[in-house]
Amino acid sequence: MSDLSGVGSELQQDFFALFGLPRRFGIEMERLEQAYLDRQAQVHPDRHAHRSDSEKRVAMQWATRVNEAYRTLRKPMARARYMLELAGKDVGAETNTVMAPEFLMEQMEWREAVEEARIGADLTELEQLHRRLSVHAREVNEELARQLDGEPGDLDGASDTVRRLMFIEKLQQDIDDAIDALED
């Protein structure tokens, strides 16, 4: 990347191609990290400070793109949403709130358990709930990997699973907030 001319089309690469990774949900995090560091070293604006204004702008665009790609690919839910977007599938997170009744019941039970532990100032219970929910999130992520990486892929199922993960992540954040409030 010592020469920044003609990189406009490369800026349009999908995030996986940008880092030389296969377009899969199950990516090797070490490989992503190394590819990010390598790319970032190539495009960092400080490295191009001596160049023309237009080349500095291109370097800044590259750096921004590399950072955005890394932030997206390193988080499972963001990566899944991005993969669905690349496949032309709208997750419909804002408009499609239809969830299986079993899942909604499960969420209510989780929320009640969190609320009881919060009201009771039971830090041990909150930490246990967090651990159990983390295990559950890993299981749901494994399901998502099968849906996105399997042959054939199940984009509709993956969209539903992403919406489920959004609920789970929100619940995990609520537990973290409750734990933080008790520890202060």
Dihedral angle of Cα 24, 30, 33, 39, to the nearest 10 degrees: -80
String of DSSP letters for 68-79: HHHHHHHSHHHH
Right CATH number for 8-74 from 3.30.300.30, 1.10.420.10, 3.30.428.10, 1.10.287.110? Answer: 1.10.287.110
Which class does domain 101-183 fall in?
mainly alpha
pLDDT digits (tens, 9 = 90+) for 69-119: 999 999 999 999 999 999 988 876 665 567 788 888 988 999 999 999 999
- pLDDT digit string (tens) for 111-157? 999 999 999 999 999 999 999 999 999 999 999 999 999 888 899 89
Q: How many angstroms separate the Cα of 109 from the Cα of each of 58, 105, 113, 133, 171?
A: 51, 6, 6, 12, 11
